[in-house]
Structure 1
Amino acid sequence: MTTFTNPVLAGDRPDPAVIRVGDEYWLTYSSFESAPGLPLYRSTDLVNWTFEGSALPEPLGSTFAVDIAEHDGRFFIYIPFIPTPWSALADASIFVIHAPSMRGPWSQPIDLGIRGAIDPGHVVGEDGTRYLLVNGIRMVRLTDDGLATVGDLEQVYDGWRYPDDWVTEAYALEGPKLLRRGEWFYLVSAVGGTAGPPTGHMVIVARSRSVHGPWENYPANPIARTRDASERWWSRGHATILRGPGEAWWMLSHGYENGFRTLGRQVLLEPISWTDDGWPVAAARDIGAAQPAPVDAAPQGPSVGFALDATAFRLGDRWAFHAPSPGEADRLRLDGSDLVLQAKGADPADTSPLCLVTGDHSYEIEVDVELGPGPVEGGLLLFFNDQLFCGMGLDGERMLSYSGGHRTHWREPAPSARRLRLRIRNEEHIVTSWYALPGGEWVRHGLRYETSGYHANTMGDLLSLRPAIYSAGEGHVTFRGLRYRPLG
């Protein structure tokens, strides 16, 4: 019997949205301040996923939880954008993109005129009319083509209230995902807050014979929740229930791994059964343990390392810019097997580093860094956001050391050079660094860091700690021979 172990998509992949297309499944997730945005993954078994491209080359803001829909042979992704310092938006705004297939080509974002709302969920009502639900839970009618709204948002569901003594972050009714089974519409949503205490986030279900309600709450809510901080997966929520291979039912959601909030919210899979009176039940006793895989699923492969091959490099596949300005990808140039990154900003805090999503507890990354002419700085980091990062860089005169989002006072006795090899090893939050002249021996950096606190609850920012390369100042930095390998 083939089994699988969560996560089925490791690393920071929050708010997964998934759709079945024939015998395939397509998934994307909140890409926040990354460009390109909305990475697209494909699977035939819900366990093994392959990157296929990105749907959003130029995000209009921070890209929050989306929904994917198919209607009359056309595909739609409904996107909430949140204002950022680099965007032109003044409020949370919901847009839509569309394409003839999940492979694209995807349209430019179209403004639906919905303000102050997030977490769209698409549904076709019992009369064939299209609607969009948002956090709250409120609903607005869509035009037949799904590219505009008709009327205003109206409250349609008030949620399910958990006992007051449950320890959560906030009530936060959000993440509506809808499905139709038999005569019932099912509304799957989240309450309890997406970060905060590990016992907060949860999955609740309501049903109705009409998208207009009234909605009946499942008497056994919630169907998924972290009940104790000793469990492997925390803050489980933002779920989609759908038919899997062999017509069995499954649920995909996200959660933080116990002890590794630094990795962000990862994609979780668990089986769904149905009661005799038509309610979904999350059937797994422990989603942290190995469990039977969907029918004909291939075995999960181990995490593997890679060497960056510039000839096959694709933004969105492992790598994306953090907090990009419009046209950020123009900073990157491929020169044979090298990556050449144009400088931006004065230091790591105000540049847009090129970041790597990882789901490994321990790993090592190294790269050869060569500064171009002029006053330029480049290096290798572990990067959470512009206020929280650690690592090292060089400016041609000295080595620059960073910790806690600040340049430290430590004067590392590295050679004054415009080219060095750099290596960072993260062993379950203990971070050690090395440097070497080309062809020389590795020298351990004098500082080590402990990064278990580099996570969302520390910063109030729903991101993850990622290896990153950066280029700041004036001119460019060339990165060669980048290698990543998991440890253990």
Structure 2
Amino acid sequence: MTTYTNPVLAGDRPDPAIIKVGDEYWMTYSSFEAAPGLLLYRSSDLVNWTYVTAALPEPVGNTFAVDIAEHDGRFFIYIPFIPTAWSDLTEPSIFVIHADSMKGPWSEPIDLGIRRAIDPGHVVGEDGRRYLFVSGIRRTALSDDGLSTVGELEKVYDGWRYPDEWVTEAYALEGPKLFRRGEWFYLVSAVGGTGGPPTGHMVIVARSRSVHGPWENHPRNPVARTTDATQKWWSRGHATLVPGQGGSVLDDDWWMVSHGYENGYRSLGRQILLEPIRWSSDGWPEVSVDDPGGELEAPAGAAEQHPASSFADDFSELRLGERWAFHAPEHDEVARLSLDDGLVLAGKGSSPADASPLAILTGEHSYEVEVDVELDGDVEAGLLLFFNNRLFCGMGIDGERMLSFSGGIRTHWREPAPAVRRLQLRLRNDEHIVTGWYREPGDEWTRHHVRYEASGYHANTVGDLLSLRPALYAAGAGSARFRDFRYTVL
């Protein structure tokens, strides 16, 4: 028997959206203020995922939870964008992109004109028409080509109310995902709030014989919920249900993909969870395990789960999307990058806070990152563990001194590092304890005199649904050359 453990895709990958295309599964997730955005992964067994492409090179705004749909052989991703300091949007707006294949190329985003709504969910009704459900839960009809709306949003479902004594963040009816199985349409939603207390977020289900309702709530809601803070996965929610590799949607082989925070490691963000689904005798989906934190039986035919791996990047090629992504990019941010004896990153802003760092995702409890930094012109540059513009730690150099950062500010500590324009930097995050080292090329490593504790670098600290990521930054008028980046799982 092949087994797996959650997460099936580690690191900050919230609000997973998944579609089965033939014998393959395709998945993406909220990319928020990262560019490229909407990274697409492919799998044949739901356990092991391979990066394929980025569907959104330049986001219109902060990219929230999407839905993937196939209709008449064409593929669609419905995207809610949220206004940010770098976007032109003034209110939440839903767009769509489309392609002939999940591999792309994907179109430019098309504005559907839907405002003040998030979390789209696409479905084709029994009448053959296309509909888009959104947070609330509200609904509008779509044109036959799926690229415009027909009519206004209307309220269609009131949700399921949990007992008032349950400890949640907020009611927050959101994340509608719809599918048809037999004579029933199923509406899978989230309530309870995605952050806050670990027992908040949950998955609820309703069904109807018509896409127009009325919707009947699952008699045993919620389908999934973190019931106790001692469990491994917190704030479980925002689920999509998909059939397994059996031949028909009427088979009992179904799976649920959702997200959750790992107990004790909120700093890693919401990670992707896989749980088996069984169908009750009265036609409702039920989770097969109370807590998905242990070893689980994998889908039939699944390969052994890929372990986490270390890597080195000599920057002989630019692996945007697959590995690197800008935080809070402006238009054409990629123009800041070039390859010339390493990765050359033009400076931006005046500190890590406004420099749009180049970051990678990580899902490990303990890891080490290392890079060679060389300055060119009036610039400071360095190596960070970066959450957002208000919360980061690490170190940089400006040619005259070492700059030390903790809690999102430059600290008063004057590290006695050499006043040089090239230095190799290393950061180790060992179960939240962050230690730094530096050296001139060829010399011995010197440990930074101050260590940091980073367990509080998470969403509930600063109200931002992101994660702590290794990052490179360059601020100022010059540029920095980065060589020999290494990521090591400890």
Scaled by the length of structure 2, what TM-score is found?
0.98
Instruction: Report the counterpart of residue 311 of structure 1 in structure 2.
Output: 316
SS of equivalent to 2:241:
strand
Residues of 2 paired with 1:304 and 1:73: CA distance? 36
Residues of 2 paired with 1:306 and 1:40: CA distance? 21
Question: Which AA in structure 1 matches 2:131?
Answer: Y
Instruction: Report the counterpart of residue 340 of structure 2 in structure 1.
Output: 335
SS of equivalent to 2:461:
helix
1:425 aligns with 2:425: no
* Gap change, CA 1:388 and 1:17, over 3 Å in 2: same
Instruction: Report the counterpart of residue 136 of structure 1 in structure 2.
Output: 136
Residues of 1 paired with 2:315 and 2:100: CA distance? 30
Residues of 2 paired with 1:151 and 1:8: CA distance? 39
How far did 1:314 drift?
1.7
Asked if 2 retains the 8 angstrom alpha-carbon contact of 1:179 and 1:185, the reply is yes
Instruction: Report the counterpart of residue 125 of structure 1 in structure 2.
Output: 125
Residues of 1 paired with 2:378 and 2:335: CA distance? 20
Residues of 1 paired with 2:200 and 2:339: CA distance? 44
Residues of 2 paired with 1:444 and 1:97: CA distance? 48
1:351 aligns with 2:355: yes
Instruction: Report the counterpart of residue 250 of structure 2 in structure 1.
Output: none
1:378 aligns with 2:376: no
Asked if 1 retains the 8 angstrom alpha-carbon contact of 2:315 and 2:483, the reply is no
How far did 1:334 drift?
1.5
Residues of 1 paired with 2:219 and 2:396: CA distance? 56
Residues of 2 paired with 1:366 and 1:120: CA distance? 40
Question: Which AA in structure 2 matches 1:122?
Answer: H
How far did 1:423 drift?
0.2
Which has the larger displacement, 313-322 or 256-265? 313-322
1:485 aligns with 2:488: yes
SS of equivalent to 2:95:
strand
Residues of 2 paired with 1:453 and 1:184: CA distance? 44
How far did 1:319 drift?
1.3
Question: Which AA in structure 2 matches 1:126?
Answer: E
1:399 aligned residue (390, 397, 402): 402
Instruction: Report the counterpart of residue 145 of structure 2 in structure 1.
Output: 145
Instruction: Report the counterpart of residue 209 of structure 2 in structure 1.
Output: 209
1:154 aligns with 2:154: yes
Question: Which AA in structure 1 matches 2:372?
Answer: D
Instruction: Report the counterpart of residue 258 of structure 1 in structure 2.
Output: 263
1:363 aligned residue (362, 367, 380): 367
Residues of 2 paired with 1:66 and 1:318: CA distance? 21
Instruction: Report the counterpart of residue 4 of structure 2 in structure 1.
Output: 4
1:450 aligned residue (423, 448, 453): 453
Question: Which AA in structure 1 matches 2:468?
Answer: L
Residues of 2 paired with 1:456 and 1:395: CA distance? 31
Question: Which AA in structure 1 matches 2:392?
Answer: F
Instruction: Report the counterpart of residue 102 of structure 1 in structure 2.
Output: 102
Scaled by the length of structure 1, what TM-score is found?
0.99
Deviations 1:411-462 (A, max 9, x none): 0000000000000000000000000011001000011000000000000000
Unaligned runs of 5+ in 2: 248-252
Residues of 2 paired with 1:289 and 1:356: CA distance? 27
Identity of aligned residues (%): 74
Asked if 2 retains the 8 angstrom alpha-carbon contact of 1:246 and 1:295, the reply is no
How far did 1:284 drift?
1.6
Asked if 2 retains the 8 angstrom alpha-carbon contact of 1:121 and 1:177, the reply is yes
Residues of 1 paired with 2:448 and 2:29: CA distance? 37
Structure 1 segment 10-49 matched on structure 2, within 5 A? 10-49=10-49
Deviations 1:326-356 (A, max 9, x none): 00111111225x1110110011011100011
Residues of 2 paired with 1:454 and 1:63: CA distance? 21
Instruction: Report the counterpart of residue 285 of structure 1 in structure 2.
Output: 290
Deviations 1:23-59 (A, max 9, x none): 0000000000000000000000000000001000010
Cα RMSD (Å) of the superposition? Answer: 0.7
Unaligned runs of 5+ in 1: none
Instruction: Report the counterpart of residue 276 of structure 2 in structure 1.
Output: 271
Question: Which AA in structure 2 matches 1:231?
Answer: Q
Asked if 2 retains the 8 angstrom alpha-carbon contact of 1:93 and 1:113, the reply is yes
Instruction: Report the counterpart of residue 90 of structure 2 in structure 1.
Output: 90
